[in-house]
Amino acid sequence: MRQKIGYGLLIVSTIIWCGIFVVPFLDIDTAKSAGLATACFFVGEAAFYIGILLIGKEAWLKLKHYFSTKLKQAKDDEN
């Protein structure tokens, strides 16, 4: 159960981070836009780190290995 909540928080943090790129297109004034983008940043970061703590070290290392191999593969395909 703890790992499911952790993975959920990682997904939520990604969605919140994507929200940062939507904020400039909203029809709100500059001060509110800056505040909303800042809030998205901090809430997204908090959700990410709490999610990492909840999934545990072993699961985090598996995720890290998975994405590092995908990144390396993409770099190799580029060349």
HSE toward the beta carbon, residue 32, CA cutoff 13 A: 5
Where in the sequence is the domain holding 32, given as residue range(s)?
2-78
User: What is the rounded CA–CA span in Å between residue 46 and residue 12?
Assistant: 11
Task: Tell me the pTM.
Answer: 0.72
Number of domains in the chain: 1
* Region for 56 from its dihedrals, namely left if φ exceeds 0, alpha if ψ lies in -120 to 50, beta otherwise: left
pLDDT (tens place) for every residue of the chain, 79 residues total: 888 999 999 999 999 999 999 998 999 999 999 999 999 999 999 999 999 899 888 888 888 888 888 888 887 777 6
